[in-house]
Amino acid sequence: MGRKFVVGGNWKMNGDKKQVTDIIETLKKGPLDPNVEVVIGVPAIYLAYVQSIVPPSIEVAAQNCWKVAKGAFTGEISPAMIKDIGSNWVILGHSERRTIFGEKDDLVAEKVAHALENGLKVIACIGETLEEREAGKTEEVVFRQTQALVPAIGSNWGNVVLAYEPVWAIGTGKTATPQQAQDVHASLRSWLAKNVSADVAASVRIQYGGSVTAANAKELAACADIDGFLVGGASLKPEFVDIVNATK
Ligand SMILES: O=C(CO)COP(=O)(O)O
C-alpha cells in the first residue's frame, strides 16, 4: 500500500531557546531513517527559529492555528503566517485543545478546512476519553470526530494525517496495547472505506499517540494499520531518534 511512516514530535508548551537548539542538534546527528517522514510540532514563538535551523529532511509544524487568514484575533496565528515563515504543517484538534480550550468538532473542522485551503498539511487528532472507552463508545467517538472532518477535508486527504490519540494514554505512561491501537486504526480504515472511499482508506496515514517511548515503539510500529506516531514527552528526549527509527 506504500504508506510512508510518519513520526511527529509534539513538543507542546515545552522548551526554551537552548533546549530547542539541543533537540535539533540531536536530530541532526540522528541518524534518522531516511524512509520516515519526521514532523516536529513547535511552540509558535519558536517556529521561525526552529525552521531556520532544521535540516531540510525535518519538517516543522505549528501546534494550532486560527480559521481565517488575518484580523482582530488577539493571540492567534494563521496558516498564512505559518507558511510565510516556511513551515508547511499544523497539528489540529489535539485533545488538549479540545478539553482545555474547549474546541469542539465544528471548530476543529473549520480550522482544518482553512489550513488545507491555504496549502498546509494537517495532522488531525482524534481519540476517546477513558470514560468513553469504558462505556464502550470508542468507535462512536472517533467516527464522530472523523465525520466532522470529512466535508472540511474534501478532496485534500493527501495532505492529511490522522492521529489517533486515546486521551487516557496521553502523558499518563499508560500506552494503548498494540492490539488496542491496531483495533481502532483498523476500524477507522473500514469506516473511511465506507464513508469516504476505498482509496482514502488505503492511503491515509494513521498515527498512534499516547505515551509512545523507545521501549514500546517497535511493537506498535509492527501493527499493520499503524503508520507512525505522534509523540509528546519522548519527543523532547534523545530517544525520539529511536522512535523515528522504530520500523528499522
Ligand atoms: O499528546 C501526545 C502527542 O500529541 C502524546 O503525549 P505523550 O507522548 O506525552 O503521552
pLDDT tens, the chain, 248 aa long:
589 999 999 999 999 999 999 999 999 999 999 999 999 999 999 999 999 999 999 999 999 999 999 999 999 999 999 999 999 999 999 999 999 999 999 999 999 999 999 999 999 999 999 999 999 999 999 999 999 999 999 999 999 999 999 999 999 988 999 999 999 999 999 999 999 999 999 999 999 999 999 999 999 999 999 999 999 999 999 999 999 999 99
Q: Is the CB of 210 under 6 A from ligand 1?
A: yes
Contact 154, 197 (CB under 8 A): no
C-alpha to C-alpha distance for 131 and 128, rounded to whole angstroms: 8
Contact 61, 123 (CB under 8 A): yes
Joined grid coordinates for residue 176: 494503548
**139: Cα within 13 Å, side-chain hemisphere:** 12
- Residue 32: count other Cβ atoms within 10 Å of its Cβ: 18
Per-residue confidence (pLDDT) for residue 1, from 0 to 100: 52
Give, in order, the Cα–Cα distances in Å from 69 to each of 51, 63, 81, 84, 187: 21, 16, 8, 12, 35
Contact 227, 205 (CB under 8 A): yes
Strand partners for 75: none
Q: Is the CB of 211 under 6 A from ligand 1?
A: yes
Q: Which of 94, 231, 243 to mutate to test the pocket of ligand 1 (most atoms within 8 A of CB)?
A: 231
Ordered alpha helix ranges (H), 5-104: 17-29, 47-53, 79-84, 95-100
Check: pTM over 0.80? Answer yes or no: yes
Told to judge if 165 belongs to the known catalytic residues of this protein, a careful annotator would answer yes
Q: Is the CB of 232 under 6 A from ligand 1?
A: yes
Please tell me the distance between residue 213's alpha carbon and the centre of ligand 1 in angstroms. Answer: 10
Output the residue whose Cα is nearest ligand 1's atom 7.
Answer: 232
Spatial CA neighbour of 124 closest among 102, 96, 146: 146
Name the one residue in this structure whose C-alpha cell is 484538534. 93
Joined grid coordinates for residue 87: 513551515
Mapping DSSP to helix (H, G, I), strand (E, B) and coil, where does residue 112 land?
helix
- Residue 133: count other Cβ atoms within 10 Å of its Cβ: 19
